[in-house]
Structure 1
Amino acid sequence: MRINEADPLESLRRRSSEKWGTFPADVLPMFVAEMDFPLAPEIKAALQEAIELGDTGYVNPRDTRAAAAFAEFAQDAWGWSPQVHRMGVTTDVSVVIVESLRRLIPADAGVVITPPVYPPFFDLVREAGGVVVQVPLLDDGMGYTLDLGGIDEALSAGARGVLLCNPHNPVGLVHSREQLAELSTIVDRHGGFVISDEIHAPLTHSGHTFTPYLTVSDQARDHGIAAESGSKAFNLTGLKTAFFVAGSDRMTKLITALPEEVTFRAGLLGLIATRAGFTHGRIWLQATIAAIEHNITVLEEQLAATLPAVRLRRPDASYLAWLDLSALAWGDDPAQFALSRARVALSNGPSFGPQGIGHARMNLACAPDTIIEAVTRLARAIE
Structure 2
Amino acid sequence: MADRGSTELTNPLGALTLDQLRRRTSMKWRRFPPDVLPLWVAEMDVPLAEPVVRALTEAVALGDTGYPSGTRYADALAEFAAGRWGWRIDPDHTAIVPDVMLGVVEMLRLVTGAGDAVVVNPPVYPPFYQFIVHSGRRVVEAPLGEDGRLDPATLAPAFRDATTGGRPAAYLLCSPHNPTGTVHTRDELSAVAELAGRYGVRVIADEIHAPLVLPGAEFVPYLTVPGGENGLALLSASKAWNLAGLKAALAVAGPAAAADLARLPEEVSHGPSHLGIIAHSAALTEGGGWLTGLLSGLDANRLLLAELLAERLPAVRYRPPEGTYLAWLDCRRLGLGDDPAATFLEWGRVALNPGPEFGTGGAGHVRLNLATSPENVAEAVHRMVAALD
The answer (yes or no) to whether the contact 1:78–1:211 under 8 Å persists in 2 is yes
More divergent stretch after superposition (260-269 vs 111-120): 260-269
Aligned to 1:351: 357
Please point out which of 175, 178, 189 is paired with 2:184: 175
Match status 1:376 vs 2:385: no
Out of 63, 79, 84, the position equivalent to 2:86 is: 79
Contact 1:174 1:208 in 2 (8 A): yes
Offset, 1:154: 1.9
In the alignment, the residues of structure 1 paired with residue 336 and residue 298 of structure 2 have an alpha-carbon distance, to the nearest angstrom, of: 27
SS at match of 1:231: coil
State the alpha-carbon separation in 1 of the partners of residues 322 and 159 from structure 2. Answer: 28
Deviates more, 1:281-290 or 1:143-152: 143-152
The whole-number CA distance in structure 1 between the counterparts of 2:162 and 2:149 is 23
Matched, 1:232 2:236: no
Please point out which of 309, 313, 335 is paired with 2:315. Answer: 309
1:211 paired to 2:220: yes
Q: Given the alignment, which residue of 154, 170, 187 partners 1:150? A: 154
The match for 1:43 is 52
> What SS is found at the alignment partner of 1:237?
coil
Q: Say whether the 8 Å CA contact 2:118–2:162 is kept in structure 1.
A: no
Q: Please give the alpha-carbon distance, in whole angstroms, between the structure 2 residues aligned to 1:325 and 1:72.
A: 42
Distance (whole Å) between structure 2 residues aligned to residue 32 and residue 289 of structure 1: 19
For 2:334, the equivalent position in structure 1 comes to 328
Per-residue CA deviation, residues 245-304 of structure 1 (Å, 9 max, x unaligned), is: 00125x222223222221111011110011100100000001001111111111111111
User: How far apart are the structure 2 equivalents of 1:157 and 1:27?
Assistant: 44
Is the 8 Å Cα contact of residues 115 and 353 (structure 1) preserved in structure 2? yes
Partner of 2:143: 136
For the 8 Å contact 1:99–1:128, the answer to whether it is kept is no
Give the residue type in structure 2 aligned to 1:315: P
Task: Give 3-state SS (helix, strand or coil) of 1:331's partner.
Answer: coil
- Does residue 111 of structure 2 align to residue 107 of structure 1? no
The residue number in structure 1 matching 2:4 is: none
Q: SS at the partner of 1:145?
A: coil
Rounded Cα–Cα distance in structure 2 between residues aligned with 1:360 and 1:81: 37
Aligned equivalents of 1:215, 1:162: Cα separation in 2: 17
SS at match of 2:245: helix
> For 2:252 and 2:110, how far apart are their aligned partners in 1?
15
- d(CA) in 2 for partners of 1:9, 1:240: 26
Spell out, residue by residue over 1:193-231, the C-alpha distance to the aligned partner (whole angstroms, 9 max, x if none): 0000000010000121110000001x2112x00010000
What is the one-letter code of the residue matched to 2:304? V
* Aligned: 1:126 with 2:133: yes
Query: What is the number of residues matched between the two proteins?
Result: 375
Is the contact between residue 195 and residue 226 of structure 1 (CA under 8 Å) also seen in structure 2? yes
1:162 Cα deviation from its structure 2 partner: 0.8
Find the partner of 1:295 among 298, 301, 304: 301
Q: Return the letter of the residue paired with 1:301.
A: E
Q: Distance in 1 between matches of 2:30 and 2:162?
A: 43
1:282 aligns with 2:294: no
Aligned partners of 2:387 and 2:135: how far apart in 1? 42
Q: Secondary structure at the match of 2:162?
A: coil
Aligned counterparts of 1:144 and 1:330: Cα–Cα separation in 2: 22
Q: Would the aligned equivalents of 2:170 and 2:203 in 1 still touch at CA under 8 Å?
A: yes
Q: Does residue 220 of structure 1 match 2:240? A: no
**Cα distance in structure 2, aligned partners of 1:290 and 1:232:** 16
Q: Which amino acid aligns with 1:234?
A: W
Sequence identity, in percent?
46
Whether contact under 8 Å (2:13, 2:371) holds in the other structure is no
Q: How do residues 266-277 of structure 1 correspond to structure 2 at under 5 angstroms?
A: 266-277=272-283
Query: Could you tell me how far apart the structure 2 residues matched to 1:28 and 1:14 are?
Result: 14
Unaligned runs of 5+ in 1: none
SS in 2 for 1:136: coil
For 2:277 and 2:222, the matched residues in 1 are separated by: 24
- Please report the RMSD computed on the Cα atoms of aligned residues, expressed in angstroms: 1.1
Q: Which amino acid aligns with 1:308?
A: P
2:98 is matched with which residue?
91
Q: Which residue of 2 aligns with 1:202?
A: 211
Amino acid paired to 1:11:
Q
Question: Against the structure 1 CA distance between its residues 305 and 149, is the aligned structure 2 distance closer, same or farther, given a 3 Å change threshold?
Answer: closer
Cα distance in structure 2, aligned partners of 1:191 and 1:227: 20
Cα deviation 1:113-144 (Å, max 9, x = unaligned): 000000011112112221100010011xxx32
Q: Which residue of 1 aligns with 2:73?
A: 66
Moved more, 320-329 or 158-167: 158-167
Q: State the TM-score, normalizing by the size of structure 2.
A: 0.94
